């Protein structure tokens, strides 16, 4: 793959992939999309210029670069090494970039498969949520070869405000696990603080105005405290997705000897939210279980 890359395939048009692929089309790339539910591809074509394919393999057959953003390890294997996966048609010298939040193990597995076909590979999970994808302001954590990364970074810039190569293949996924571990703890702390303030009868909005300017400040506090106080959770990153991500982190911790007691506890709190019917509520819904 070279800087003259024009043909791009994007596999997976979920809440993240849909706008990400759109940014590539708007940036002038020839984009071919694939989504398991074909109606989503049709909807994408109503908003952007490009083509759709009926299988991942067909989407990738003429692509210089293939980007993937699907649900989990199993989905990823299906669209890459499956019967109609992209690796069936990708050519030597092309590159595969995986934006799925998945395990480090599957990233290394895909790297090995790509290497055997002389295809470049970068694991590149993203952070920033649906709003970040829509606004082209995602942060991308990458693992892989520096030359491959240098070639794809300008292309990913169509939907990212910042990306960084963090080490060998799998490093991007490890970084995303660290990201989710941090978020889980921060959201739980914010939920407890808001409940504490409500029970004390203080004006929580005024308190947040003050403490957000100090050491307690965070993205979650700035962007979620109002909706939490309003008991509004129909937005953002879903509890189901967070539990999937935390399960990956907890599994990796067992392999590398880490102890994640807070993460394990908050994961169980999210299980409580699921039992309340909050599978698709935003992760800030930890406050809901305290009510």
Q: Please list the active-site residues.
A: 176
How far is Cα 204 from Cα 219, in angstroms, rounded to an integer? 17
Q: Which residues lie closer than 8 Å to 46 by C-beta, 6 or more apart?
A: none
Mapping DSSP onto H, E and C, the string for the chain reads: CCCCCCEEEEECCCCCHHHHHHHHHHCCCEEEEECCCHHHHHHHHHHCCCEECCCHHHHHCCCCEEEECCCCHHHHHHHHCCCCCHHHCCCCCCEEEECCCCCHHHHHHHHHHHHHCCCEEEECCEECHHHHHHCCCEEEEEEECHHHHHHHHHHHCCCEEEEEECCCCCHHHHHHHHHHHHHHHHHHHHHHHHHHHHHHCCCHHHHHHHHCCCCCCCHHHHHHHHHHHCCCCCCCCEHHHHHHHHHHHHHHHHHHCCCCHHHHHHHHHHHHHHHCCCCCCEHHHHHHHHC
CA 173 distance to own-chain centroid: 10
Burial of 92 (0-12, 13-18, 19+ CB in 10 A): exposed
Give which of 78, 173, 167, 79 is closest to 123, Cα–Cα.
173
């Amino acid at each position: 793959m070279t800087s003259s890359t024009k043909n791009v395939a994007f596999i997976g048009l979920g809440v993240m992939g849909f706008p990400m692929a759109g940014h590539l089309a708007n940036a002038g790339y020839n984009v071919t999309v694939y989504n398991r539910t074909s109606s989503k591809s049709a909807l994408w074509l109503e908003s952007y210029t490009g083509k759709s394919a009926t299988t991942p393999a067909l989407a990738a057959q003429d692509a210089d670069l293939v980007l993937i953003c699907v649900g989990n390890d199993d989905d990823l294997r299906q669209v890459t090494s499956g019967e109609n996966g992209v690796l069936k048609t990708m050519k030597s010298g092309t590159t595969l970039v995986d934006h799925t939040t998945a395990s480090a193990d599957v990233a290394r597995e895909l790297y090995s498969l790509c290497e055997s076909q002389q295809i470049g590979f970068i694991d590149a999970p993203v952070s920033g949520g649906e709003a970040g994808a829509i606004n082209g302001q995602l942060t991308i954590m990458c693992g892989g070869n520096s030359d491959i990364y240098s070639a794809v970074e300008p292309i990913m810039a169509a939907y990212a405000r910042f990306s960084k190569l963090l080490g060998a293949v799998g490093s991007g996924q490890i970084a995303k696990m660290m990201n989710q571990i941090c978020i889980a703890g921060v959201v739980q702390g914010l939920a407890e603080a808001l409940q504490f303030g409500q029970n004390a009868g203080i004006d929580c909005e005024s308190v947040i105005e003050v403490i957000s300017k100090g050491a307690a400040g965070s993205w979650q506090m700035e962007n979620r405290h109002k909706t939490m106080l309003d008991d509004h959770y129909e937005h953002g990153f879903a509890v189901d997705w967070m539990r999937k991500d935390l399960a990956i982190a907890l599994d990796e911790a067992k392999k590398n000897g880490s102890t994640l007691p807070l993460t394990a506890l908050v994961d169980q709190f999210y299980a409580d939210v699921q039992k309340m019917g909050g599978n698709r509520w935003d992760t800030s819904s930890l406050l809901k279980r305290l009510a």
